[in-house]
Amino acid sequence: MNIGVLGAGQLGRMLALAGYPLGNRFTFLDTTGSPSAGVGEVIVDPDNQHLAEFLAKVDVVTYEFEHLPVTLVQEIEKHKPVYPSSRAIEVCQNRVEEKALFDRLNIPTPAYRVVESAEQLEAAARELGCPVVAKSVTEGYDGKGQAVLKAPEEAAAAWQSIGHAQLVVEAFVDFVREVSMIAVRGRDGEVVFYPMAENQHVDGILRYSVAPLPDLDVQMQQTADTYIRTLLDELDYVGVLALELFQTRDGSLLANEMAPRVHNSGHWTMDGAVTSQFENHLRAVQGLPLGSTQAIAPTCMVNVIGREGDNAAMLALANTHLHRYDKAERAGRKLAHVNVVAATHTELLEKVRACQALLPDAPPVEWSFTNTL
């Protein structure tokens, strides 16, 4: 089967690498003019002149990022199966739609307001109580399109810096840790869940994801499974869905946002789970049986941001796997990730700290359970 992928970045690259053993071929439609997949056939089409050529080559279509024109996805759906659907992408690329869906499905979220002016932003900050986070309704990711207000008087500057006509303002959450759920739903409605991962962000960019968690309550995993299954079924979803959450001090989970695609916090599955998120996504969109999501051993994904590290020294660490994206160095750019696998979480922490020392500007590892090891 020739699988069409909207977007041609590192997520598309890893989808292709997972699909080649299944006998898949890949055609990427790049709408940005700067593809980086480096595999498969890439059609560069920033002016939407080559859609017919793309459609003639592919059997089924998926996407590797959600910041696409919904009208483009809807047009493709007239000609080829698209998984996940345009409905999923429409919700996930709009924070107001996303929050409304969470509310309708009784999935708890941090307290929030929708504002359309600097004056409304200031009023929301006073009502919710600072600090608050202001986020653009569309196009925000990896910390872009966001501002933290420590006082209501900062509203005018925050409004100007974000530069969008509508913002979502969220109350700060007193959380124990940031976590994420990765689940996969097949064409037949079957759903499988990966173990919950703990994520460490710096300046809005993911730096470490670790799974499975040694101190995770079974009930909390089941609650997260229920939330994400509800979303999958509501959207009649096919493929991988990621749901980011806050685990609060009272033991509850608050949904932050979701992503309708394979996700950075699921990269650990490439070496730490029986079936990777990438292979399972491809199985789902082709109507194949889903693979086991069981974790093989404690695993941590380490993002390589901005500058390459000492790759040879990292690979000298036992059961450490480097996945490079064939990208040039640039501040803030995701260049690669390293999956570190170990027999115990104590050993894993030691090895991840060794990796961190080999990566320029990598932050110290801060897991919520470090003191219990």
Residues in the annotated binding site for ATP = 95, 135, 140-146, 170-173, 178, 201, 256-257
Q: Positive or negative, the Cα torsion across 237, 303, 197, 271?
A: positive
CA 189 to chain centre: 22
Decide: helix, strand or coil at residue 95.
helix
Numbered residues of the known binding site:
95, 135, 140-146, 170-173, 178, 201, 256-257
CA atoms within 13 A on the CB side of 12: 27
**How buried is residue 224: exposed, middle or buried, by Cβ count under 10 Å (0-12/13-18/19+)?**
buried
Q: What is the DSSP letter of 363?
A: P
CA distance 257 to 250: 20
Decide: helix, strand or coil at residue 82.
strand
Query: Token pair for residue 49?
Result: 């002149």
Which residues, 6 or more positions from 76, have their beta carbon under 8 angstroms from its beta carbon? 6, 51, 55, 61, 82
Residues written for the chain: 373
